[in-house]
Homo-oligomer: A and B are copies of this chain.
Amino acid sequence: MEEAIRQARKSLNEGGIPIGSVIVRNEEILAVGHNKRVQEKNPILHGEMDCLNNLGRIGSFKDCTIYSTLMPCYMCGGTIVQFKIPKVIVGENKTFEGSQAFMESHGIKVTNLMLPECIEMMEQFIKENPDLWFEDIGEL
C-alpha cells in the first residue's frame, strides 16, 4: 500500500487524479500504476486499469492481489471480477463507495484499511477539483 500511495502522489504531482495501484504475486510487485485521465486524456486509465495496462499479459491472475488507494469503481471492480483477481486491498472508501458489494458477490475478498492518509488526499483533491472528480466517476 505504501507503493500505491507513492503512485497516487506521483499522479498528483503530474497534475493528475491521486489514485494509485499495485499488483502483487507471492510478495513480489508485478506492476504499479496510477490514474492517467489528465496526463493521457484517457477515460479508462484509472489506477487499477493503468496497473494492468503496465503489467501486460500474464495469463491467470489467480495468485495475485491488487492494492488501490481508493475503493475500485465498477469499471475496475468489473475488471477484477472478469479476470478473477481474488484479493483486493484498498486504502479507503470514505470518499467513494465504489463496487465493494458487487466484487464480494462474485467471491472477491475485499479488505478496506481506511487509512487517514488516503482519505485526506482524496478529500482535498475532490474539494479543489470537483468537476474533474465527477468526470472520473461518470457523475457529470
Residues of A at the B interface (CB closer than 8 Å) are 37, 41-44, 49, 52-53, 55-61, 73-79, 81-84, 99, 102, 106, 135, 137-138, 140
A84 to B43: give the CA distance in the assembly, Å.
13
Q: How many copies of the chain does the oligomer comprise? A: 2
Q: A54 to chain B: closest CB distance in Å? A: 10
Chain B residues with Cβ under 8 A from A57's Cβ?
37, 41-43, 135
Given contacts A49-B44, A75-B78, A61 and B138 within 8 Å (CB-CB):
yes
Given contacts A44-B52, A82-B75, A59 and B140 within 8 Å (CB-CB):
yes
Chain B residues with Cβ under 8 A from A55's Cβ?
43
A49 to B44: give the CA distance in the assembly, Å.
7
